Structure 1
Amino acid sequence: MKKIIVCTYLSLTFFICQLTAQEIYFPPAGKWQEKSATEYNLNFSEAIEFAKSNEYSESKDLRQAILKGFQHEPYHEISGPTKRRGGPAGMILKDGYIVAQWGNTRRVDMTFSVTKSFLSTTALVAKDKGLISDFTEPVANYVWDDTFEGEHNSKITWKHLLQQNSDWSGQLWGGFDWADRPSQEQTIDEWRSRELHEPGTHFKYNDIRVNVLAYSLLNVFRKPLPKVLKENIMDPIDASQSWRWFGYENSWTTIDGLKMQSVSGGGHSGGGMFINTEDMARFGLLFMNNGMWNGQELISNELIDEAMSPSVPNPNYGYMWWLNSKGSRNMENIDNDIFYAAGFGGNFIIVDQKNNLVIVTRWLEPSKLEEFLNIVYKNI
């Protein structure tokens, strides 16, 4: 429940303050109450039509779309599962109620780098549980193998991995860090021999390093991250049982004598989170309400504030959430305090805590996000 204090001025020295309660609705399992947008003096019909008519333009065969999208990466291959996608779908929540929806919101699809925001959430759970003492600690204190050996990698902290500014150097599950989204102006030899940036000083969106974070968290929890997410987040928010989180064919390791798969932080090489629109909206609602779900704290408010703080090298990036703060990715007509998860093919979870809004849109042409949000917000 969020509370608002309304004060009425009576004299120079006295105010009457009335405490009013604004209820946030938390949908039970398998159900979701709807309200007409007109109850809030809102109208999203134009935004819905825009989302439907601006569908992601690449193939619905996501295997083809992935191979085309990353064709300039040397040695790139698909080693995790993929799935043919559906059409545009989405939901808009106000105070937790559905006030707009379109498409098949219960269809399970790949969600690509939106998975990163689920991954960073498992790190917040680890911190809340005391499994990680401080995100500024070197990850080498927790992972005993050679993943963080060497002068450079040994300085990398959890925070560096969460903010994608670690410049971790190495190979994991057959993938080289330098081969992920390399500059087209350099040769392979130049990529391999590049000068490393001091951890924390240079932002680079890089799925290999994201997968290093997933592997490191697997070593901390000592059980598969999908199980961690299910027990601590997805079951408490009454998500469906249809979502799945995959890794790669070769991303297996042994912990405590048990073979476990290390999951991927996206679908760049297949794998990642396969999930429906409604479960994405539940996840967004949890963050809209600062980690509280129906009176139960699942993530501490302080950690969510930390996760949504701009990093030094990239003011538009927190702990694997994109931020609309001032920077190169700022959407100037949208409130600077919103944050969002974003994935290949136009998958988005937008969280607006000021207006108690959660917006999920899937398979929207990525370049159209700002225009779509401008339509959503023009009467708010």
Structure 2
Amino acid sequence: MAASGAVLAGGCAARMAPPSRSGAWPQTSPASVGLKKEALEQAAHAMGQAGERQGLVVVRDGALVFERYWANDYHRAEPDWRNVSFSSGKSWGATMVGRAINLGHLALDDPASRYVDPSITGLHPATRIHHLLTMSSGGSLVVKPSSHPPRKLNDQTPPGPPDEYVRTEGKSKEPRAPEGYGIDLEPGTMFFYDGAAADHLAEIVTAATGMRSFDFMRNEVLEPLGCRNTGYQPEGVDSNGDIRIGGSMLISCRDMARLGQLYLQGGRWGSTRLLDAAFVDAATSPSPGNPDYGFLWWLNTTGEIPAAPRSMFYAAGALGQYCFVVPERRLVVATMGFGRPPLTPQRAWEILAPALLAS
């Protein structure tokens, strides 16, 4: 497995502004923001041993201070390489909803049925937007198949058709689903992690804004953040132009870090407010059903990740797709890759903590 990439040097001052709408990340040296190059190099070396990593990006005070990339059967060692998000795409989905709220198209307490009839979504009629954001909707039997893993570089098989919604036959396909899940379980009753119900937020955004969720995400979230290497797997955008909330994004580590920086800055990007501060606060605070979950963001409230601060919140996808945000350290860390064996958040922070939390 080959490694590529290096610490980014420069004399930029600490607490820099983030990149502009179309600009690249400001760059500075680790030492200028209180981090040690050698410790970061050691962390990157250890992380590169944890399965098929593609990239590691560290941002502090709005500046890119370190990055490392690896080549393997699935990835190239390039900053622009687009990885498959798996469920880390959920936090982007929450951001799309937050942007629609900021523009006045939606409200957290709105019934989902105001926008799309329950006969179409399969959601309980009492389901509200905040239930879908907190995995407490009670579920739906109208689902899409699982998102697709990345392909090996030498796999030239053309992509398949878009993944469309199908209605399951009377019971949830989710393992360990509670009784009545997707049938008559009252919204708000309990937390149950399942991206199938959250996927319907895309249809709701389409109906509320009059713009296909694919276009809304691109025009109102990705472009304002200056994302240069982000899109969707062909199968991840259905025939109605609705994206999969639960996965299927294609994204570079650098662009993944932009999401964390947006939330670290309370929803502002440069001079533009993309998200209401109240939405950001709610999204990164414990939800009623799970103290370690906000609005499609994972939290560390109970210390489930012992090596990380309890204030940390993060986007997480299967096999090790992460965007970690540590507010009191003014840090954003993105790491992605296919990840066999999977890189757990616990293991990631065992590796990162000595380099990022010692100062």
Q: Normalising by the residue count of structure 1, what TM-score does the alignment of the two structures yield? A: 0.74
The answer to whether structure 1 residue 263 and structure 2 residue 256 are counterparts is no
Deviations 1:125-159 (A, max 9, x none): 11111111x3123211222462367xx81111111
Counterpart among 31, 47, 61 of residue 43 in structure 2: 47
Distance in 1 between the 2:258 and 2:246 partners? 19
Indicate how the Cα distance of structure 1 residues 245 and 220 shifts in structure 2: closer, same or farther if over 3 A, else same: farther
User: C-alpha displacement at 1:370, in angstroms?
Assistant: 3.3
| In structure 1, C-alpha distance between the alignment counterparts of 2:259 and 2:47, rounded to whole Å | 21
Give the structure 1 partner of residue 238 of structure 2: 251
Q: Distance in 1 between matches of 2:326 and 2:182?
A: 40
Who is 2:62 aligned against?
A: 96
Q: Which residue does the alignment assign to 1:224?
A: 212
Query: 1:106-121 to 2 correspondence within 5 Å?
Result: 106-121=80-95
Which is further off, 315-324 or 105-114?
105-114
- Identity fraction in percent: 24
Cα shift at 1:102:
0.3
Give the conservation status (yes or no) of the 8 Å contact 1:247–1:261: no
Matched, 1:165 2:136: yes
Letter in 2 for 1:199: P
* Structure-2 separation of matches of 1:40 and 1:108: 28
Is 1:139 the counterpart of 2:139? The answer is no
Q: Which has the higher strand share?
A: 1
Report deviation, 1:323: 0.7
- In structure 2, the CA distance between the partners of 1:46 and 1:294, relative to structure 1 (3 Å rule), is same
Does structure 2 conserve the Cα–Cα contact (< 8 Å) formed by 1:156 and 1:168? no
* Change beyond 3 A, Cα 1:275–1:141: same
Structure with the greater alpha carbon radius of gyration: 1
C-alpha RMSD of the superposition: 2.7
Q: Where do 5+ consecutive residues of structure 1 fail to align?
A: 1-20, 57-86, 253-259
For 2:44, the aligned partner's letter is I
Q: Hey, what's the Cα distance between the residues in 2 that align with 1:89 and 1:221?
A: 35
Displacement of 1:96 in angstroms is: 1.2
Distance in 1, matches of 2:265 and 2:67, equals: 21
CA distance in 1, matches of 2:182, 2:24: 53
Map Cα deviations across residues 155-179 of structure 1 (whole Å, 9 max, x no partner): 1111110101111232241253954
Query: Cα distance 1:222–1:325, how it changes in 2: closer, same or farther (>3 A)?
Result: same
The answer as to 2:227 corresponding to 1:235 is: no
Aligned to 1:26: 18
Match of 2:8 in 1: none
AA in 2 matched with 1:26: P
The answer for the alignment partner of 1:310 in structure 2 is 286
Q: Could you report, residue by residue, the CA deviation over 1:191-217 in whole angstroms, capped at 9, with x for unpaired residues?
A: 789984321121112122121222222
Task: Report Cα offsets for 1:94-141 as digits up to 9, x if no partner.
Answer: 111111110022101211111111111111111111111x31232112
Q: What is the match of residue 272 of structure 2?
A: 296
Using a 3 Å threshold, how does the CA distance of structure 1 residues 379 and 143 change in structure 2: closer, same or farther? same
State whether residues 178 and 191 of structure 1, in contact with CA within 8 Å, keep that contact through their aligned partners in structure 2. Answer: no
Q: What's 1:83 paired with?
A: none
Answer yes or no: is 1:208 the counterpart of 2:208: no
- For 1:193 and 1:342, the matched residues in 2 are separated by 24
The residue type equivalent to 1:285 in the other structure is Q
Give the Cα separation in 1 of the matches to 2:100 and 2:182: 34
For residue 352 of structure 1, the aligned residue among 314, 320, 326 is 326
Asked if 1:377 corresponds to 2:356, the answer is yes
C-alpha distance in 2 between matches for 1:309 and 1:146: 32
Residue equivalent to 1:286:
262
| Alignment partner, residue 343 of structure 2 | 366
Aligned partner of 2:149 in structure 1 is: none
User: Which letter maps to 1:307?
Assistant: A
Distance 1:358 1:286 in 2: 10
Aligned residues: 308
Alignment CA distance shift 1:337-1:222 (3 Å): same
Tell me if structure 1 keeps the 8 A contact 2:28–2:64.
yes
Question: Which runs of 4 or more aligned residues in structure 1 lie more than 6 Å from their structure 2 counterparts after TM superposition?
Answer: 190-195
Change (3 A) 1:221 1:97: same
Q: TM-score, normalised by structure 2?
A: 0.78
Q: Which residue of 2 aligns with 1:68?
A: none
SS in 1 for 2:281: helix
SS at match of 1:153: coil
- State the 1:300 CA deviation: 1.5
Change (3 A) 1:95 1:131: same
Give the Cα–Cα distance (whole angstroms) in 1 for the partners of residues 261 and 181 of structure 2: 44
CA distance 1:376–1:54, shift in 2 (3 Å): same
Deviation at 1:378, TM superposition (A): 4.0
